[in-house]
């Protein structure tokens, strides 16, 4: 599959709650705008929703954004889950980093992908061996 | 469950139709066109969402857009 911007929880929150997130939102909007100019689609790995959907107050904004169908949710398939496990093993990280691993494994499902992330450290470690992946920090 | 398929009749320039048939190959023209339409709908929805944010919050500063374009990975 072609090219995508894969959003982690910070990036999704910045777009879902644009008035509350100040500078993060401006950066996330700029990344989304440039992706749009280039015809690149935005994807949220399904496990990221486990990080951001923590009750109706939080869910409403995320649902409102996702229901617009401007950003697709990438389902967690068996293949992606197993790739995530392999990534954790390779980077010697525990399951505490599982969601970061799902983000990187989802990005690997595309020919090339940019990961928009608020926390580069672990994502960087997990994605380092893959030249088709790049990071954009929020 | 997958959506039931609906048969449509559409017209497009001959050159575009041949290029689409050639590119779709064995995957079939219907699934090729369906994916292209889904992609375009999503792209338009994203554009509308970003335009709305520009209207309500003010546009993203040019400097920030330029910075992202500069940082965008060169392939």
Q: What is the DSSP string of A124-135?
A: HHHHTT-TTEEE
Mind telling me how many Å the CA of B52 is from chain A's nearest CA? 11
How far is the C-alpha of A114 from the C-alpha of A28, rounded, in Å? 13
Partner residue facing B64 (CB), from A30, A36, A38 = A30
8 Å CB contact of A65 and B57? no
Partner residue facing A70 (CB), from B49, B68, B71 = B49
What region, left, alpha or beta, does residue A22 occupy, with left being phi > 0 and alpha being psi -120 to 50 degrees?
left
- The set of residues, in sequence order, having a beta carbon less than 8 Å from that of A125 and lying 6+ positions away, is A91, A93
Segments making up each domain of chain B, as ranges = 14-71
Q: What are phi and psi of A8, to 5 degrees?
A: -90, -175
Query: Which one is predicted more confidently, A58 or B40?
Result: B40
Q: Which of residues 14-73 of B touch A (CB under 8 A)?
A: 39, 41-43, 45-50, 53, 57, 60-61, 64-65, 67-69, 71-73
DSSP of A16-63, one letter per residue?
A: HSTTT-HHHHHHHHHHHHHHHHTTPEEEEETTHHHHH--SHHHHHHHH
Q: In this predicted complex, what is the ipTM?
A: 0.89
User: What is the pTM for the complete model shown?
Assistant: 0.91
β-sheet bridge partners, residue A137: A117
Q: Which domains does chain A have, with CATH numbers?
A: 3-137 (3.40.50.1010)
Q: Is it the case that residue A16 has pLDDT exceeding 70?
A: yes
Count of alpha carbons within 13 angstroms of residue B12, beta-carbon side: 11
The pLDDT score that the predictor gives to residue B1 is 58
pLDDT, one tens digit per residue, over A83-138 is 999 999 999 999 999 999 999 999 999 999 999 999 888 999 999 999 999 999 99
Residue of B nearest to A39 (CA): B43
């Amino acid at each position: 599959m072609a090219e995508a911007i894969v959003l982690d929880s910070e990036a999704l929150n910045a777009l879902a709650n644009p008035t509350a997130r100040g500078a993060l939102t401006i950066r996330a909007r700029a990344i989304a705008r440039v992706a749009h100019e280039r015809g690149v689609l935005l994807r949220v790995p399904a496990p990221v929703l486990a990080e951001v959907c923590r009750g109706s107050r939080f869910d409403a904004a995320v649902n409102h954004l996702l229901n617009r169908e401007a950003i697709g949710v990438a389902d967690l398939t068996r293949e992606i889950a197993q790739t995530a496990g392999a990534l954790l093993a390779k980077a010697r990280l525990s399951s505490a980093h599982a969601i970061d691993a799902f983000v990187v494994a989802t990005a690997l499902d595309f020919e090339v992908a940019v990961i928009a992330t608020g926390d580069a450290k672990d994502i960087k470690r997990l994605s380092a061996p893959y030249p088709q992946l790049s990071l954009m920090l929020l | 469950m997958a959506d039931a398929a609906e048969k449509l009749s559409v017209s497009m320039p001959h050159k575009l139709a041949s290029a689409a048939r050639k590119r779709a190959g064995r995957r079939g023209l219907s699934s090729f066109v369906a994916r292209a339409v889904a992609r375009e709908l999503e792209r338009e929805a994203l554009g509308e969402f970003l335009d709305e944010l520009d209207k309500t919050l003010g546009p993203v500063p040019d400097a920030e857009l330029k910075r992202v374009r500069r940082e965008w990975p060169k392939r």
